[in-house]
Amino acid sequence: MCGIFGYIGKKENSLEIVIKGLQKLEYRGYDSWGVATEIDGQLFIEKKVGKISEAKTDDFHDKKCQFAIGHTRWATHGGVTDINAHPHFSSDKTIAVVHNGIIENYEELRDELGRDNFISQTDSEVVAQLIAKFRKEMSFKDAVLAAINKLKGRYAIVVMNVGENYLIAARRGSPLIVGVGDGEYFLASDIPAFLEYTQNVNYLDDDEMVIVDGNVEFINLTTGRSVEKRLINIDWKAEGAEKGEYDHYMLKEIMEQKDSILRAINQDTDEIMHIAQQIKKSRGCFFSGCGTAGKVCMAGEYFFSLIANRHVNFAPASEFPVYHHFLRPESLLVVVSQSGETADVLEAMDAAKSKNAKVLSIVNAEGSTIARQSDFSLHIKAGPEKAVASTKAATSQMALLMLIATAMVDELQEGRRQLAEVASKINDMLNPRFLTYIKAVAEKIKDHENCYIIGKAENYPMALEAAIKIQEVSYVHAEGFAAGELKHGPIALVTDGTPCIALVANDEVKNDTINNTIELKARGAHIIGISPEKHEVFDDWIKVPDVGIASPLVNIIPTQLLAYYIAVLRGLDPDMPRNLAKSVTVK
């Protein structure tokens, strides 16, 4: 939800650096963008509706300044217009601000500051006006502190003040990372934005502020005191965050599942055993996540039941409040997230912590808020995932949940061996012929407006997940169903030629799933079977390896590819679907 970027250092082409950084954050928001700096003692601002990837750095070549701020927006308050784009600035044009998050009391603050002074419909403009008001009576730093004290809600902000050669940033609930280069600093919503300059970072925690000039000073907003921070070296390469030879990040990330699963299961044995013990001894184990991560949790629920004979309670994080009253100190909340910044998940964690329950997180973004606020955190090591559609993170998270389930029944080594075999079979499966075949299947169904996916047992969550993938990138109305539920209603939707995808595994429920598929076929459905074995009911058969209980990990991959190719064949950009953003930091 919005990407912010600030630069201060020795280089004079700060605007070009900021634009390039924002282009790497485009996955966080892509409806409009803007930059600000100081030129000849005046505030310089450029804001535009459209994608930051369309901005040309050359246009800013002659605008020299050693600091600048910028923003790529995913609209919350106020429509997509040039004026509502960030940076927002004070009426006297001395203060400019970029903001990610939501200022909940902005209406109240607008009244206080005089509604006539506002030119945008955003909540963010109040931050600039408020700082400017305080700035008339105090230093830039104190004015930011005073303004922050009045803000309610979640935010990450970066602020500049004309005439002051430093930037100030602060956070509460939205991510902000400081990249520490050689005599230069980067303030960004995510690490890939500045990876080409530095791999050394400081994470800003909630209720902290940072003042950046030639040095960097962190301040705790509650105590007003300086805070010492550990410099962390990030083991990511800049190229890992680029598209490389692929047309889209989504395809690149699907292909990376050839080895990302292996990295996920390569965890410290003692740590996994410790976590398995914590789960076993917990009284009330809850799984929660959003979207795809939520479907991963559901798959985990099946793994825990089938492998570890352990009942867990899953709820999407946005629905988790219904479970709050069950939480107690002996409870354990397991949260799953790619970005580690999802607001609904953070709220579930807050609820758990308020009841002294423990939190285990399974995340991809190292050092993210969710990772740092958990009692235990496992990093899936999938590398940067930039496409809005989550793919490699999901399979890695499922692999790790399955590994933990095996550890709970003292079969960790065997679990690791099985999952390594799954990874190697996925490596074989993802060959060019396989991709060409799936593209041809996508070609057959791309013009249908409805598509249904069925699965049973551990493949039921994958039917739901396949539907999310197809919906979000191709805008086809896709829905996933438990195969056995069809006859209770959904089968009425099927008419001649409706594409229906059946996720079948070589498991105890195989015959049931095939029977349900036959029922669909009898109503005229065009059946795409994803299965290790061919069956006469399939009109198109996508062969996947036979991996037993791990079937969700392999069955989901062809559906990711189908979603990708349907989108591309419909002329859409799968990396930047409409209305969505990669990291959902608002509730």
Q: Which residues bind ligand M6R (CB under 6 A)?
A: 290-293, 337-339, 342, 345, 388-390, 468, 472, 583-584
Scored b (16 or more CB within 10 A) or e, 550-566 reads bbbbbbbbbbbbbbbbb
Q: Catalytic site residues?
A: 2, 582
The residues near 97 (Cβ < 8 Å, ≥ 6 apart) are 69, 86, 87, 88, 89, 124, 127, 128, 131, 157, 158, 159
Please identify, using beta-carbon distances, which residue of 486 and 567 lies nearer to ligand M6R.
Answer: 567
The dihedral through the CA atoms of 163, 204, 350, 581 has a sign that is positive
Measure the CA–CA gap between 513 and 532, rounded to whole angstroms: 13
Where are the alpha helices (H) located in 25-124, listed in sequence order? Answer: 106-113
Residue nearest to ligand M6R (CB): 291
Measure the CA–CA gap between 2 and 22, rounded to whole angstroms: 10
Measure the CA–CA gap between 379 and 268, rounded to whole angstroms: 11
- The DSSP letter of residue 120 is S
Measure the CA–CA gap between 41 and 526, rounded to whole angstroms: 66
Please identify, using beta-carbon distances, which residue of 293 and 357 lies nearer to ligand M6R.
Answer: 293
What is the tally of helices (H) and strands (E) in the chain?
Answer: 16, 25
- The DSSP letter of residue 173 is B
CA 308, 310, 316 angle in degrees (round to 5)?
A: 115
User: Side chain identity at 265, as an amino acid letter?
Assistant: I
